[in-house]
Structure 1
Amino acid sequence: MMQKILLITGAGAGIGAATARRFARKGWRLGLIDIDEAAVVALNEELGGQHWHRGLDVTDRAAVRDALQAFGEFAGGQLDLLFNCAGILRIGEFETIPAEEHRRIMEINVIALMDVTQQAFPLLKTTPGARVINMSSASALYGTPYFASYSASKFAVRGLTEALNNEWKEHDITVQDMMPPFVKTKMLTEQTFRAPIIDRLGVNLEPEDIAEAVWKAHQGNEVHNPVSLQFKSLVFGSKWLPNAFTRQLIGLISKR
């Protein structure tokens, strides 16, 4: 049986690295991409030194093209799963965050994700039953105060996921997303602004929890995959309760 192939962006730390470890334990061959080249070199060595890796800024379209070509040669033209995990976060009052940072969030979380996915399409198309899993967020359910541009980026990822899952059915490609609340990663813990919603809900998930959820998601057919009982309850409630309830709830737990 041919080994399955997984390509991960943002693989150098946090959720991306935890997911790499989870799939490697199951015998998958990996492609590891991260802006921190040393991190993916170290991760590859940790996992036995047999995986493809590259230091790469995913907003550099030419570099992405070259990387996908090299990865395709390594993988023999196969890509069973693309996990778009690269992303950044800035928490704070919208008007105080420099415009360049808002733009950077959209460039990495949305535009680069679209670019990687588009350039990976030829590999996905030639692999029976291929999948794309995008890293979305609980912030894609309803706009979260002090996460404005991040929330906007994840709404875009949610919309893209839904559209491509329908559009790419004819190519036998399933497109899904992960929607966790707060995860204990450096991206969150190193923020200088403390959003009230974090204090009220807590940070109860580890990167390994998301990696396990990705493993389960790739075996199923749910387009949106909320993570944690807490957030699943909110998603379930939003299906039956008016939007005003969700809006009021988010406002209440975000109030300073």
Structure 2
Amino acid sequence: MTKSIFITGAGAGIGLETARLFASKGWFVGAADRDPRALENLQAELGEEVCSTHVVDVTDEKAVAEALSEFAELTGGTIDALHNNAGILRVGPFESIAIQDHRAIVEINVIGLMNVLYAAFPYLKAASGAVVVNMSSASAAYGTPDFASYSASKHAVRAMTEALDIEWQAHGIRVCDLMPPFVNTGMVQANVGGSRLFDSLGVNLAPSEVAAEVWKQVASPQLHRAVSGQFKILWPIARSAPTAVTRAVMKKLRRSS
């Protein structure tokens, strides 16, 4: 029986590459995005027989529920994997970013993710061994300067992942996340001038590399999967180091150029 995955933010970047990868592995893909033209292009590329598209804003609770219901009608009422990828980023000193932009980051990255999780639950429960892969970030390891609201949103994703992985175990659902550093997407490129951290840490990951990590999470879930050799080393240190040490490192990276 063909397995299915529903991907938010599938019109570009990581979501697009994830859709391509899973389709190439024989999965039936539900691609959701706010951009109808991007979805049309994706469906034309992959074919209607392996890709269902859904124009939806994840902050619209009703639209999210309708999209997931429509997708589940095509899959026999089950969803084997969910990739919560939709998100936005604004970088710079906190006070230099409009408050409505801070609010939008939380609405999309956190409330949007919750909307999708809530609506997807019955279809995940109906599947056998379903897996949720939330898109967290390396910035969830410690509050990141110039990324304050984005970092806060990814801390929330991390906490949601940890809580639901316990709660939903009783329903046979694994909930995990990915924690990549900077990925070379249009979203990141639009913000590279906003912080010296981009220069200090580099923008070294390709979206296709992160998509490969989504595949690994679905095949063999880890609660938090650090992405990139650099962060795989830093993540255990960040978790165990005294707060003062981590804070000092973040300050130094922000000053570097």
Query: Counterpart in 2 of 1:120?
Result: 120
**Aligned equivalents of 2:178 and 2:192: distance in 1?**
25
Q: How does 1:212-251 map to 2 (within 5 A)?
A: 212-251=212-251
Structure 2 SS opposite 1:102: helix
Q: Report whether the alignment pairs 1:99 with 2:99.
A: yes
Contact 1:134-1:157 within 8 A present in 2 as well: yes
Structure 2 SS opposite 1:53: strand
Contact 2:106-2:149 within 8 A present in 1 as well: yes
**Aligned equivalents of 1:35 and 1:96: distance in 2?**
27
Query: Counterpart in 1 of 2:40?
Result: 41
Identity of aligned residues (%): 51
Contact 2:131-2:221 within 8 A present in 1 as well: no
Query: Counterpart in 2 of 1:29?
Result: 28
Q: How does 1:84-95 map to 2 (within 5 A)?
A: 84-95=84-95
For structure 2, the 5+ residue unaligned runs are none
Q: Report whether the alignment pairs 1:77 with 2:77.
A: yes
Q: Which amino acid aligns with 1:113?
A: L
Q: In terms of mean alpha carbon deviation, does 151-160 or 95-104 score higher?
A: 95-104
- 1:241 is displaced (CA, Å) by 2.7
- 1:222 is displaced (CA, Å) by 1.1
Query: Counterpart in 2 of 1:13?
Result: 12
Query: Counterpart in 2 of 1:181?
Result: 181
**Aligned equivalents of 2:218 and 2:240: distance in 1?**
27
Query: Counterpart in 2 of 1:61?
Result: 61
**Aligned equivalents of 1:195 and 1:84: distance in 2?**
26
- 1:192 is displaced (CA, Å) by 6.5
Contact 2:146-2:194 within 8 A present in 1 as well: no
Q: In terms of mean alpha carbon deviation, does 192-201 or 113-122 score higher?
A: 192-201
**Aligned equivalents of 1:185 and 1:192: distance in 2?**
11
Q: Report whether the alignment pairs 1:170 with 2:167.
A: no
- 1:23 is displaced (CA, Å) by 0.7
Contact 1:38-1:55 within 8 A present in 2 as well: no
**Aligned equivalents of 1:18 and 1:236: distance in 2?**
28
TM-superposition CA deviations, 1:101-125 (whole Å, max 9, x none)? 1000000000010011101001001
**Aligned equivalents of 1:151 and 1:34: distance in 2?**
22
- 1:75 is displaced (CA, Å) by 1.4
For structure 1, the 5+ residue unaligned runs are none
Q: In terms of mean alpha carbon deviation, does 55-64 or 124-133 score higher?
A: 55-64
Q: In terms of mean alpha carbon deviation, does 62-71 or 112-121 score higher?
A: 62-71
Structure 1 SS opposite 2:90: coil
Structure 1 SS opposite 2:54: strand
Q: TM-score, normalised by structure 1?
A: 0.97
- 1:81 is displaced (CA, Å) by 0.3
Q: How does 1:134-145 map to 2 (within 5 A)?
A: 134-145=134-145
Q: Report whether the alignment pairs 1:149 with 2:173.
A: no
Moved over 4 A (4+): none
Structure 1 SS opposite 2:83: strand
Q: In terms of mean alpha carbon deviation, does 142-151 or 232-241 score higher?
A: 232-241
Q: TM-score, normalised by structure 2?
A: 0.97
Q: Which amino acid aligns with 1:191?
A: N
Structure 2 SS opposite 1:181: coil
TM-superposition CA deviations, 1:68-87 (whole Å, max 9, x none)? 11111111101000000000
Contact 2:142-2:238 within 8 A present in 1 as well: no
Structure 2 SS opposite 1:12: coil
Query: Counterpart in 1 of 2:2?
Result: 3
Query: Counterpart in 1 of 2:195?
Result: 195
